[in-house]
Structure 1
Amino acid sequence: MSPVAILLLSASMSVDAFAVAVGRGATIARPRLAEAFRTALVFGIVETITPFVGWLAGLVANDWVASYDHWIAFGLLAGVGLHMIHGALRADGSAAPRQNAGASLLVLLATAFGTSLDALAVGLSLALIDLDLAGILAVSAGVGITTFCFALAGMYLGGIIGQRFGRIAEVAAGLVLCAIGGTILFEHLAG
């Protein structure tokens, strides 16, 4: 696989993580470097691992993985998105974003996994075209590094948006997660 193809693939696999990081940053009043770095690191690591796991799955059990990945992605992303919307619409009267909204590592991992299932599917398809081990390692590293950079930038952009728009930004972030999950499901079901 050429370096240009790996770069384009990496950028396209990182867009979902960027959108989620913007939403996550919007729910945190002024994200600190440590929180932005943690978010970017979790997304980057998960996105590094999933193409490789997909590639391995493609070597072993292609049909099973391909028939369920879209439902898993939809469930995870819609669940986290609805949780964010619920949190934003709580009747506690606060209009500003909450400092620890969505900060749980479990929520972060679920979100990262949900957005990385497309990378899992890409890894699976790369196994079907007989990409070798060196090729999948290059793809996985490219996707992981690009996702880390996109997510880090997204956290800071989201922080700026969140300071200005508060609850509206948090509801929008939840809707974006639901939309990403719905899009993944629709694309797989529509064929």
Structure 2
Amino acid sequence: MARISNYGSGCPSLARGPEGVAGLAFNGANIWVIAPSIGLTTFLLATVGMVIGRMVGRRFGKVVELLGGLALVGLGLTILLEHLGVLGA
């Protein structure tokens, strides 16, 4: 019979937020390795996103800004309509 790893059982909780990291500690994971790893990964991905965003912003400027704004308005409208029961969940 296959043994289920404690690390694998904590991964879904990680996607739910910082409290998921605390849940990993209760599963016997080494929090002193996991927490800095998550912090470093977050820092690197945010930095890459900022660099890419700056390059795209210089090249396409207002067009991308307008598309991003429209996407956010559409997302907000979709959430509102789902909560009002207009759209099926």
**TM-score, with length taken from structure 1:** 0.27
Determine which structure has more spread, i.e. the larger CA radius of gyration. Answer: 2
Flag the structure with more relative contact order, 1 or 2, with Cα contacts below 8 A and sequence separation at least 6.
Answer: 1
